[in-house]
A and B are shown apart, each in its own frame.
Chain A
Amino acid sequence: MKIELYLKEKELSLYEKIIVNSIKVRVEKIEARGGVVALSGGIDSSLVAVLAHRALGDNLLCLIMPEKGVSPEEDTEHALKIVNKFNIKYKIIPINKAVEWFSKNFPEGEFKEQARRMAIANTKPRIRMILNYLYANAMGGIVIGTSNKTELLLGYGTKFGDMAADIYPIGDLYKTQVWQLAEHVGIPTEIIRKKPSAGLWKGQTDEEELGHTYYEIDRVLYALVELELSVRETSEFLGIDEEAVLDIYKRVISSEHKRKPPTITRLSKMCLDKDWRYPVERY
C-alpha cells in the first residue's frame, strides 16, 4: 500500500487521450455545436481549455472574466498566453458591473459583515456561470467545468458557480496530478508554478485558505479515498498530525451535497435520484 499520486509518462499520454475523447463524445452525443470553458489563467482552467481545444477545435470558446482590480492582472495575462499559444477562440468580459449590482442591492447591516462578504464573493463565480451558460446556450454548446478531484472532495468550489457544468473532464485528477498533466500538454511554466487561487478576493491563495499545502492535502485525500484508510490510519500511515487529517476529512464529509444533485424527497417507487437509473448518454 502506497501513495501513488505521481503519474508515469505513459499514463499521462493515456489520460490525455481519455479526457479529450470524453469531451468529444459528449458533445457529439448531444449534438451540441461546441463548448465553453471559463478561463481564469489558473492551472485547472488552462489545462481544461487545452484539452477541450484538442477535442473541439474552433468549436471551443474560452471566456476570460476578470473582476478588474480584484483578479490579479497576471491571471488575465496568463489566460491570454494560453489562448494565443494554442490558438483558441476567446472573449474577455469583465464582471465588475454585475458584482457591483449585487453588492449595491444586497444591503449592509442585515447580515454579519463576514457572512455578507462571503455571500458576495460566492456570487462572482455564479456571475461567471451565468455568462458561461449564456454563451453555451446561444452557440448550442455545453459548459465544460474545471473542478479537479481535490477541490471536489474538499467542496472547495462554489455550488452553482464554478461547479456548475455539464462535464468535469479533470474531476478524477488530484491537484498534484493536474500539475503533471498541465506540464505534459505544454502549459507555460509560470502558470504551473504560481500559487493556486480561487480569486474571490485580492491576495487570496488556496493553500492559505485551506490551511494545508496541496501536497499534504492530496496525500491525505489519497489515503482516505483511494486507500480507504480511516482518519487514524491515515495519520499513522503518513506521519501527519491526526487533527490535520481530521480537518480535511470533515471538509470531505460536509461537502457531499456539493457533489450530488439536489436530494429529492422520495414519495413514489420511482424516485428520480434514487430508483431511476439511466445514463446521460442514452440512445
Chain B
Amino acid sequence: MHDNIVKIGLGQIITRLGDVEGNKKRIIEALERGKENKVDIVVFPELSTLGFGSGDIYLDKVDENLKALDEIVKKTEELDLWSIVGFVDKDDLGFFYNAAALIGKGKIVGKYYKTQLVNYRLFDEKRYFKPGCCLPTFETPFGKIGILICEDVWFPEPSRAMTFRGASLLVVLSASPYDRGKSEVWEDYLKVRVYDNILPVVFINQAGVQDGVTYWGGSMIINAEAKIVTRAKLLEPDFVVGEIDLEESLKLRRRDIRIREVRGEILEDLLKAFEEMKK
C-alpha cells in the first residue's frame, strides 16, 4: 500500500462441497499468487473452506474447517499478507455462523457473521446458521473495512451501518448461483450500494459448478464513482489484481454531502415505520 492505494487480489476460486483439504489448498495457492503480485490483501468467497451448498456437511465438518482456517492464518504470517476468508464459525453455545475472518498477517483481527441468511428457493441457510447481529467495521493498515456476506448487500441497512461506522471500503463475499440475468442484477445492487454510501466495493464470488448449480464468478472492484475498475472471468476460477484509492471516497464526499446530511429523526421514523409494519 502506498498513498492510500490498496492493492487487492481477488481469489475467485472453485470450492468443492465438503472438500476442506482441497479448498484450503486452493486458498493457499491464491495467497501465494497474491504474494507474487505484491498485493496487500487477498479476498475469498463466502464459505470458501467448506463450499457453499454443502447441506448437512456443514454440521459434520465444522471442526475440520476451523482447523483449515488456522492453517490459512499461519500461511498469511509466512506470506506477510492480509486476507478475508469465508468459513463456518462455531460459538461456545454450539451455534454455527456463516462467517468471514479478517486475517492480518498471522492473526484473526476480526470476524463478521452474515446477518441476512437466505432461506428461499434453493437456499436453506437457517437450517444451519444463526444470523449475526452486528455490523462492525475493522481497522486495518488500509483504513476501516466493512465486510458483508452475499445477501447482506441486497439490503440497504448493513452497508449503511458500516458507512456510519467509518468504513472506507466494503468487501462483499459471495457464493452466488447463476440463474438467468443474475449477474446483471448483482452489478446493479453493488453499484446502488456504492451510490448510497459513496464508497468503493469489492465483490468476490465463487466460480464453477457444484451439483448442477453454477457459481458465476465475475468478481469485481467498483470504485467510489461506481465504475468497475477490475473484473474477473465469468464462470471460471480466476485470480485478478486491482487497486483502489481509499482517499477517493473522502474527496467525493467533499461535494457529495449526502452521508453528512442523513437525518437522525428520519432514521428514527424509519424504525417506527418498521415497527408498525411488523405489527
Give me the interface of A with B, judged by CB distance under 8 Å.
4, 11, 14, 17-18, 21-22, 25, 167, 276-283
Contacts and interface: CB of A to CB of B under 8 A. Distances in A.
Interface string B183-212: 000000000000000000000000011111
Given A17-B235, A21-B235, A278-B57, A167 B212 contact: yes
A281 B56 contact: no
A22 B55 CA distance: 19
Contact of B57 (A11, A14, A17, A279): A279
27 contacts: A11-B180, A14-B234, A14-B235, A18-B178, A18-B209, A18-B235, A21-B208, A21-B209, A22-B212, A25-B210, A167-B212, A278-B55, A278-B56, A278-B57, A279-B17, A279-B18, A279-B53, A279-B54, A279-B55, A281-B16, A281-B17, A282-B17, A282-B57, A283-B17, A283-B18, A283-B19, A283-B51
Given A17-B235, A18-B178, A25-B209, 11 more contacts: A18-B235, A22-B214, A277-B56, A277-B127, A279-B17, A279-B53, A279-B211, A281-B17, A282-B18, A282-B57, A283-B19
Contact-residue size bin, chain B (C-beta under 8 Å from the other chain):
20 to 34
Q: Provide the main secondary structure of the chain B interface.
A: loop
B22 interface: yes
B55 A277 contact: yes
A283 B16 contact: yes
Contacts of A281: 16-17, 210-211
B214 A21 contact: yes
Contacts of A14: 234-235
Q: Please provide the 7 A-B residue pairs with the shortest distance between their CB atoms, ordered closest to farther.
A: A283-B19, A277-B55, A283-B18, A279-B211, A281-B211, A22-B209, A18-B214
A17 B209 CA distance: 11
Nearest to A23: B209
Contacts of A17: 235
B56 A276 contact: yes
Contacts of B55: 277-279
Given A18-B209, A18-B235, A283 B56 contact: no
Given A276-B56, A277-B55, A279-B53, A25 B208 contact: yes
Contacts of A282: 17-18, 57
B214 to A, nearest CB: 5
Contacts of B19: 283
Contact of A283 (B22, B127, B212): B22
A7 to B, nearest CB: 8
B234 to A, nearest CB: 7
A221 B40 CA distance: 51
Contacts of A276: 56
Contacts of A21: 208-209, 214, 235
Nearest to A11: B180
B210 A279 contact: yes
Nearest to A22: B209
B211 A280 contact: yes
Interface string B85-102: 000000000000000000
A18 B178 CA distance: 9
A283 B53 CA distance: 12
B120 to A, nearest CB: 12
Contacts of B57: 278-279, 282
Contacts of B54: 279
Interface in B50-66: 51, 53-57
A180 to B, nearest CB: 13
A277 B122 CA distance: 12
Contacts of A167: 212
A167 B127 CA distance: 26
Interface string B11-26: 0000011110010000
B28 to A, nearest CB: 17
B177 to A, nearest CB: 11
B263 to A, nearest CB: 36
Nearest to B210: A281
Nearest to B124: A277
